Amino acid sequence: MTVEEFEAFYVQAVARLTGQLYVMTGDLQEAQDVVQEAFVKAWVRRGRLERDGQPEAWIRTVAWRLAVSRWRFRRRSADAWHRGSDTAAGHVAPPDPDHVVLVGALRELPAQQRRTLTLHYLCDLTVEQIAGETGLSASTIKTHLVRGRAALAHRLQDPRMEEAPDV
């Protein structure tokens, strides 16, 4: 992959990969950081990326692994759990309530279910492609999809909606 080809690949893939990792991690800043770091790692091996045939999958996998490593490091480090006080400089519009509910529901899912749902629905990967990318069996992927959908369906039920009586 030439420098120009890599730059073009970066331009067309960075936003999509960042969005996918945001859904997987639930943290936009973290997603941006790990995707950028994965692209830096890809730059070094850009000649091999084209031969491997799936540079986007490689970067997504590396970014996911970086996110997991960072999470484990923060978990072991008590200092990382203490965040600074409110330092918001200006007014920020509140997020859309539906977005808040969806993000909250996704955060309640186990990480592997959240990742599997993201790869399937956001990245539009098949069960076999997800299995190849994650190293899990196809049956495990199917189980994560079924359980994740069921958990989201339960969490995203609108309590204001009641079943209509049979007429």
Q: How confident is the model over 25-65, as pLDDT tens digits?
A: 888 999 999 999 999 999 988 878 776 678 888 999 999 99
CA 70, CA 84: separation in Å to the nearest integer?
Answer: 19
Q: 106: pLDDT confidence band, cut at 50, 70 and 90?
A: confident
Q: How confident is the model over 140-158, as pLDDT tens digits?
A: 999 999 999 998 888 887 6
Q: What is the mean pLDDT of the chain?
A: 82
State residue 86's pLDDT score: 46
Domains of the chain: 1-92 (no CATH), 95-166 (1.10.10.10)
The CA-atom distances, in angstroms, between 127 and each of 8, 16, 30 are: 28, 20, 26
Average of pLDDT values for 123-149? Answer: 92
Decide: 133 and 61 in contact? Cβ < 8 Å. yes
The secondary structure of 98-121, three-state, reads HHHHHHHHHHHCCHHHHHHHHHHH
**Selected residue with higher pLDDT from 39 and 93:** 39
